[in-house]
Structure 1
Amino acid sequence: MRIGLFTIAGGAPLDDLVAQARLARDAGLASAFFGHGSSFDALTTAALAGREVPGIEVGTAIVPTYPRHPLALASQALTAQAMAGGRLTLGIGPSHRPIIEDGHGIPYDRPARHTREYLTALRPLLRGEDPAHRGETLTAVGAVDAPGTTPPPVLLSALGPTMLRIAGELADGTVTTWTGAAAIADHVVPRITAAAEAAGRPAPRVLAGVLVALTTDPDAVRREIADRFAAAADLAAYRAALDRQGLAGVHETVVAGDEAAVAAELRRFADAGATDLLIAPFGDAARVLEFAASLG
């Protein structure tokens, strides 16, 4: 199982975000993925990190699709791929109704259909082809010419059965959040793998995002996470994922404790079939990343 860093592209100056990618690489991790927030653009941040920090995969987890037409995202992603020296992985997803509809003023209609059509248009565009797509939710006609650039792999954020099926059929894998090892084993891996096999596609990557803290007081960490991220549990996709796991809140997915406890829990993700673990360090980031790298 490959182990990488996850951090939000915001809350710190750009140079600090690049420094986090460098810290991950120097600790021996395989990747650095940047999440979308209300600050710096995640894809541009990944491109910069890839250019400044050789020897590590960079990616997004994730770029919201609704505000970005596939033609526009393909152009930006291929530019980022060129900047990163071919080490970019593009993670996309439909985001959440309150963000898209209330924030952007874009109707959050039929997100599964939108996602299927988006990937149907995006993948040919990344290959320099014209998808000539005229669907129910979007039209994409034209091509993007990016000389000398290879198409980046595409991941889809997927937690529910329908999205996992789409990820298996049309993407190169999935990236999860607020999902424990048991759900990876029992729900995520079987569904996306079956969908990929039925579509005649290679075995998908499963990137499991997890918040990790090395601490002598794991209960205090979980209380702080519960306070900080309480609103996440009200988002429909996260609420459904938590309900499937029998969990009340996102804090119950946190991996926290001493080194032995954290090591045992992280190994469960490998046993569950995750191909990658994206660690969001809580507390002493350098210590968490170095310890995680020692397990990989």
Structure 2
Amino acid sequence: MVRIGVTLNEHDGPDALTRLTDDLRRANDDGFASAWMSHIFGMDALTALAVAAGRVPDIEVGTAVVPTFPRHPAALAQQARTAALAAGPGRLTLGIGLSHRVFVEDLFGYSFARPLRHMDEYLSVLLPLLEGHPTSFSGETVQAQIRLTTPGEGRVPVLLGALGPRMLKLAAERTEGTVLWMSGSATVRDHVVPTITAAAQAAGRPTPRVVCMLPVGVTNDPESAYARATMAFRTYGSLPSYRAMIDREGVAGPADLAVIGDEDAVGTKLGELAKAGITDFVALEFLTGADAVRTRTFLGSLTT
């Protein structure tokens, strides 16, 4: 059975965390299994989720995703374990990803020359620390000789933002699975699930989690919703990793991956994703007004 979650949008102003907490409480009250927050240029996602989850019980919270390059894996492990302590046992899932060359090199000034090696070595430091163990590692891109004393029980599960075959294999071998964005049902069915599942089986690991995140809008005016999606998500069509998934799906742009239509149409598309093998579907609700209410009502009906 596919677990249904929603994204949490950032807010402006001094009451931003209060409003985020209200959104998380609403998601919990509506019966969603999880709520996910991106980490781009606004609030620090882990800090924000620590605050909100500390005030709202039960619902899983996750990052989708925290970029790895701007912070050392030991610093991220320390922050994630602290956020998990605030949220409560078993509630935080740490989604991490490479981000994109244009951000890593142009904004932060780091080299994006060997992204797969970077992520492999990053996990070599991050994962032991998340499990509460010391780490001693010296690689080409990451080094660490450190032990954390951050309190906490158990481990913080990790999902890897993985789209290409080598990154999916890494996700299967070393983490709990993958969190996807801009990946349609055909791509999930023919590429993501077979690749990550086979790699997990070969490594003797459990069946990986596949969290699929897409824009969703329930409406009787799909043309207007499509136009809105075209404007809202156009940037993703110019980022190489997402462009590859769009091309693999055989569609023109990001808006074509949005799940748009009336309840029957949206339900059919979500059913296709379920048959493709996802374990979780996370909806980014992008419509406003009555259609926003209608979208949330329909998504809420799926949680039961």
Are 1:70 and 2:68 counterparts? no
The counterpart of 1:56, out of the listed 54, 59, 62, is 59
TM-score (norm. length: structure 1) = 0.96
- Offset from partner CA, 1:152-176 (integer Å, 9 cap, x none): 1100001111111110011101000
| C-alpha separation in 2, matches of 1:10 and 1:118 | 31
Distance 2:50 2:40 in 1: 16
Task: Find the aligned partners of 1:147 and 1:254 in 2 and give their Cα distance.
Answer: 41
Task: Provide the residue aligned with 1:289 in structure 2.
Answer: 296
Compute the displacement of 1:39 (Å).
0.7
CA distance in 2, matches of 1:234, 1:148: 41
Q: Post-superposition shift, 1:8? A: 4.2
User: What's the counterpart of residue 94 of structure 1?
Assistant: 98
1:18 maps to amino acid: T
Alignment partner, residue 7 of structure 1: 8
Structure 1 Cα separation of the partners of residues 195 and 256 of structure 2: 23
Superposition map of 1:19-34 within 5 A: 19-34=22-37
Contact 2:219–2:295 (CA under 8 A) maintained in structure 1: no
- Same amino acid, percent of matched pairs: 48
Q: Cα deviations across residues 166-211 of structure 1 (Å, max 9, x unaligned)? A: 1001110100001111211111111111111111111110000011
* 1:175 to 2:179 alignment: yes
Following TM superposition, the consecutive aligned residue runs of length 4 or more in structure 1 with deviations greater than 6 angstroms are none
In structure 2, the CA distance between the partners of 1:191 and 1:11, relative to structure 1 (3 Å rule), is farther
Under a length normalisation based on structure 2, what TM-score does the superposition of the two structures give?
0.93
The residue number in structure 2 matching 1:106 is: 110
Give the counterpart of 1:242 among 241, 246, 257.
246
Query: What is the aligned residue count?
Result: 296
Q: How big is each residue's C-alpha offset from its partner over 1:218-264, in whole Å with a ceiling of 9 and x where there is no partner?
A: 12212222122222111111111111111221101000111111111
Task: After TM superposition, give the deviation of residue 281 of structure 1 in Å.
Answer: 0.9
2:146 counterpart SS class: coil
Q: 1:143 to 1:96 in 2, by over 3 A?
A: same
SS in structure 1 at match of 2:260: strand
Equivalent residue of 1:33, what SS?
A: strand
Distance 1:8 1:256 in 2: 19
Secondary structure at the counterpart of residue 53 of structure 1: coil
Q: Which amino acid in structure 2 is aligned with residue 242 of structure 1?
A: I
Which segment is superposed worse, 272-281 or 4-13?
A: 4-13
Question: 1:285 Cα shift?
Answer: 4.2
1:287 to partner: Cα distance? 3.5
Of 8-17 and 83-92, more deviation after overlay is shown by 8-17
1:122 aligned partner: 126
SS of the residue 2:155 aligns to: coil
User: In 1, Cα distance between the equivalents of 2:67 and 2:11?
Assistant: 15
Runs of 5+ unmatched residues, structure 2: none
The structure-2 alpha-carbon separation of the partners of 1:62 and 1:9, relative to structure 1 and needing over 3 Å to count, comes to: farther
- Is the contact made by 1:120 and 1:170 (CA closer than 8 Å) also made in structure 2? no
Q: CA-atom RMSD, angstroms?
A: 1.4
Q: Letter of the 2:82 partner, please give it.
A: T
1:133-158 residue CA offsets vs partner (Å, 9 max, x unmatched): 10111102111122333221100001
Letter of the aligned partner of 2:48 in structure 1?
Answer: T
Q: Could you tell me how far 1:20 is from its partner in structure 2?
A: 1.4
Superposed counterparts of 1:106-255, under 5 Å: 106-255=110-259
- Give the alignment partner of residue 81 of structure 1, picking from 76, 79, 84: 84
Shift, 1:46, TM fit: 1.6
Q: Distance in 2 between matches of 1:221 and 1:287?
A: 13
Q: Contact 1:10/1:37 (CA < 8 Å) preserved in 2?
A: no
How big is the shift at 1:290? 3.0
Q: Residue 244 of structure 1 aligns to a residue in which SS?
A: helix
